[in-house]
Structure 1
Amino acid sequence: MAVPNLYWSLPVPSVQELARDIPSTLVPRRYIRDDVSDLTASINPSLIIPLLNMADLINSESRDAELQKLFFACRDWGAFQLINHGIPDEIIKNMKKQSRDFFDLPSQQKRRYTQKLGSLQGYGQAFVVSEEQKLDWNDMIFLHALPIKDRDLNFWPEEPQGFRETLDSYSIEVRRLAVSLLGFMAMALGLEAHEFSENFQQGQYHVRMNCYPSCPLPEKVIGISPHSDISAITFLLECNDTPGIQFQKDGYWVPVEPISGAITVNIGRIGQIISNGVYHSAEHRAIVNKLKERLSIVTFCYPNENGEIGPARGLITQENPVLYKTVSHADYFHRFYYQKHVGDQLIDSLKADASQ
């Protein structure tokens, strides 16, 4: 059965159940990546993702130096870890607990929130469009968190107790952080903060909680295939100390070691567009661990659905011509979900000299 667009996903088995039931030496063929010789190759442990301090961005005395670090992180890496981000510790703690508790629920309870044909929201997997497609080694629950009108509470778990309230509080804090950080990203380019951030006060915030069970063949199985996000920025909160996210830099994969209290931030395609190509949309992947389960909470930050997506006007001069078209929110997402422009195809379709 084929599906007509990327906003639908075919049902797949629960990886948690597979990991629990299969023999330690056996992994189903659909998860074996024959196209990769060894997922542990091409890793450069000497490269370290930049570390930014939100407190230094807020402090006027330290801001200039930290803005320079932010500029280089966004331009050269497209990703960084952020400390002192301001999300209260209690909300972080509760959000991690709710995510762990959800994936610990019995299978029949999680299946109450299974995705339905026509939507990515819910429990299952994303972007599975054929029965022959290779699968990633993870389970997820994907939810539209903000604005409130976008929520489909049929997919918002009532168990574990307090899940909905915790996600509501967390998403509000993430929105506050996104607006603030995008403002500093504008300032690092010599712009006023609002030139990046104004469309995100009422923006869309989608949350994906991931479970990566331990896997007997981590060198042949991948948690999430290499990709770049279509968001403006993405926040990744690790729920434990098991590393897994890796970013590509200079032809190498660079592992990110979890830092207590830090959030990993990466630039998405919209961030690349609004910076007129100065900032880099980071390609990344998730690997799996032979002995440990990994849990993560990812928030994709998008602008207001009524706004336009295009380069910030303040960046365009005779010396720096516009690189990307300005398109409607609907047009941008139509290119991805319905025309299936993925990866570089999406950004290429939006180049100023590209045909419609």
Structure 2
Amino acid sequence: MTSLPQISLAKLTADATRCEERQCLQMACEEYGFFYLVEHGIPKEQIAQAIEASRRFFALPQSIKERYGHASQIVYPTTVRGYRPLCGEILHPEVGGDPKEVFDLGIENEADRRPFAGSTRFPDDALAPGFRRSLLALQATVLNRVVPQLGTALADLIYMEQGWFQRHFSPPTVGQRVIRYPARVGTCAKHTDGGFFTLLLQEELPTRSLQVWFRGRWTPVPSLADSLVVNLGDMLQALSDDRFKSTPHQVAHSGQTDRISLPFFIYPDVDARLTSPQGRAFTAAEVMLRNIELIDTGNGAGRARELQ
């Protein structure tokens, strides 16, 4: 693999090119489980603003960042929102804590008391200028311009009935992360993602930090200008009856500067009950809670324990 397939969201949703681009999308999902999404409609400036605001947040003194850690959050599970320090998360049990810093957020709805919902306690603008504002603005753009269009195309390709994605993802459950990989030593251990799909917005750096398990070896994935990286999750693999691949991946950042990464993990509404065409059934909540429990107890993310 010299490069991932490129899928155009604009072509995927245009009447004249939809059929051909969906064939390309199907190939990418069956063969790779990863692809670049181009012509996605997210302004480059909006991504840059979120990255810079995130960089300012991570530059704050440790004592200030820790005020916004899990203990200060009021959602359930508390570990899905707020700040997590270096080596505070284990994605593969054989490796231990990942040397990365994280801030987690989701869709903000103070009245929603269900698991994975509610509101995030952020630093205010005086401490972290533009941090909350830029991240939520980016979230709104992703949810309006990318998630429904891509999700509907994926649902059609796994033979779900018309309107299936809208019914189960209105709204979706979103795990939005801000990750800082320190220069030269930042890593994220090998794992799979547990959700439907993941969108990765990142800096365009020359170092190929992201690595994908493909045909028996770890293959670096270079940054591609004006693109997102999309990977499929375990939930979509199950709903496709294993036609689509939830591909293992990891990060090994050896660059001379820190790397900021902005992934969006897309899950169904937490109350959704899902069944594959061949009858594989589960609830969104049970899958999501099980994956969080595995991470929080140091047992790895997704199918991490299967990866040697």
Query: Could you state the TM-score of these two structures normalised by the residue count of structure 1?
Result: 0.72
The one-letter amino acid of 1:332's match is V
Equivalent pair of 1:49/1:79 in contact (CA under 8 Å): yes
Matched, 1:239 2:203: yes
Indicate which of 211, 223, 229 corresponds to 2:180.
211
2:116 pairs with 1:152: no
**Which amino acid letter does the alignment assign opposite residue 189 of structure 2?**
S
Contact 1:146 1:204 in 2 (8 A): no
- Give 1:283's aligned residue: 248
Alignment pair present for 1:88 and 2:47: no
Match runs of 1:156-235 below 5 Å: 158=125, 159-176=127-144, 177-189=146-158, 191-192=160-161, 194-215=163-184, 223-235=187-199
Residue 124 (structure 1) aligned with residue 84 (structure 2): yes
State whether residues 335 and 341 of structure 1, in contact with CA within 8 Å, keep that contact through their aligned partners in structure 2. Answer: no
Asked if 1:107 corresponds to 2:67, the answer is no
Which consecutive unaligned segments of at least 5 residues does structure 2 have? none
The answer (yes or no) to whether the contact 1:146–1:171 under 8 Å persists in 2 is no
* Aligned match of 1:138: 100
1:269 & 1:156 partners in 2: Cα distance?
A: 33
1:185 offset after TM fit, Å?
1.4
1:251-330, aligned counterparts within 5 Å? Answer: 251-311=216-276, 316=277, 321-322=278-279, 324=280, 326-330=281-285
Taking structure 1 as reference, are residues 283 and 345 closer, same or farther at Cα in structure 2, changes over 3 Å only?
closer
| Coordinate RMSD, CA, aligned | 2.8
CA distance in 1, matches of 2:231, 2:262: 14
Measured against aligned partners, the alpha-carbon deviations of 1:273-304 in whole angstroms (never above 9, x if no partner) come to: 22222111111000021523211111111111
Under a length normalisation based on structure 2, what TM-score does the superposition of the two structures give? 0.82
CA–CA separation in structure 1 for the residues paired with 2:30 and 2:221:
18
- Given that 1:307 and 1:329 are in contact with CA atoms closer than 8 Å, whether structure 2 keeps it comes out as yes
Q: Distance in 2 between matches of 1:256 and 1:115?
A: 32
Distance change (3 Å), C-alpha of 1:102 and 1:243: farther
Comparing 271-280 and 152-161, the one that deviates more: 152-161
Instruction: Give the fraction of aligned pairs with identical amino acids, expressed as a percent.
Output: 25
Cα distance per residue 1:221-240 (max 9 Å; x no partner): x6110000011111111134
* Rg larger for: 1
